[in-house]
Amino acid sequence: MANSLNFIALIFLIDLVVGNFLRHYYFKSNFGTNYYLTYALDSTRADVIIIGSGRARSHYVPEIIEDNLDLTCFNTGMDGNYLPNSYAVYKSIKKRYTPQFVLLDIRHLNELFKGSGGYNQLGSLLPYYKEKEEIRDIITLRGKYERLKLISRIYPFNSELLTIIQGSLKKEDITEFKGYLPRFGSLSDITLSTKQAEDYEIDTNKIRILESIASDCNSHDITLIIILSPMYTLTEQKAGVSLLNDLAIKYGAEFWNYFNDTIFLKPEYFKDAEHMNDLGAKKFTKLIAYRLQQMLNH
């Protein structure tokens, strides 16, 4: 019995020591995805905040928005992010200060429906569970045993070892591109695919997230703009677009749909079917900046 207790105590001790070691170097990082996410959650105080997935990160150029609006801007978009991740970023930012504009980029209309994913990707937020009470309920959407797993100090960093090592060896200036990740090159296959809408069931968790963001922005005089940025495909959009439009009207937000806009439906503007290249992103951001400027002038 004593040996069993000693073994359990040793396991807990190893978990504590190794977990604290990983935590220390994770948050000490000055490079990579963990550094970028930590900066978005804890440090940025930009007037214009862009939230979304890797599509958002590569579709909006903060420098263009800053030059046109004379406001600061930061792009918090991140590869693999879905609406639950975006909500966590919004809540962490909003707890610290109130931005003037929030540009919420919806990665794809399918994201609003069940079966489209978005919960396992909350794993990137596990290192922040301990200290960020405001996003704990979002993180635990990842699975019903998540609270139990998070008793372990090592568990939040299970998938972060490579980024921790990179962050210890390299440095980057996060203010240089202000979160923007340019993509270069253009489509080699210029065939324009067509996708038909499927009869999916609405994901009520994600709709609640959208409603929470929109309601909070409305209550705190934050201009929320929900955006479907361009994609090199023709997709039937009726159900999803109607939902987003109704939500925007209900909460006094803006809904800008450029998903299949013919202005941008050109292969020279895309790195691949989902992501615009640097040329396309700059053209798209100039249009967004112009519309923001029009709003400020009225």
Distance CA 265, CA 192 (A): 9
Tens-place pLDDT, residues 138-183: 999 999 999 999 999 999 999 888 889 888 888 888 888 999 999 9
Q: Which of 126-130, 158-162, 187-191, 278-282 shows the lowest mean pLDDT across its residues? A: 187-191
Tens-place pLDDT, residues 83-142: 999 999 999 999 999 999 999 999 888 888 887 788 999 999 999 999 999 999 999 999
Encoded tokens for 3: 């040996």
- Residue 57 near residue 181 (C-beta atoms within 8 A): yes
Which residues touch 190 (CB under 8 Å, ≥6 apart)? 267
Structural domains in the chain, CATH included, are 2-296 (3.40.50.1110)
What band does 235 get if pLDDT is binned at 50, 70 and 90?
confident
Distance CA 150, CA 135 (A): 14
Task: Identify the pLDDT of residue 197.
Answer: 56
Q: What is the mean pLDDT of the chain?
A: 92
What band does 1 get if pLDDT is binned at 50, 70 and 90?
low
State the average pLDDT over residues 3-31.
88
What band does 287 get if pLDDT is binned at 50, 70 and 90?
very high
State the pairing for strand pair 233-235/193-195.
parallel
Distances (CA, A) of 49 to 56, 57, 78: 11, 11, 13
% of the chain surpassing 70 pLDDT: 97
Torsion sign over Cα 259, 264, 267, 272: negative
What band does 266 get if pLDDT is binned at 50, 70 and 90?
very high
For residue 202, pLDDT beyond 90: no
Taking the CA atoms of residue 228, residue 230, residue 235 and residue 239 in that order, the dihedral angle to the nearest 10 degrees is 10
Rounded to 5 degrees, what are φ and ψ at 222?
-95, 130
49 strand-pairing partners: 74, 102
What band does 2 get if pLDDT is binned at 50, 70 and 90?
low
Element (H, E) at 65: helix 62-69
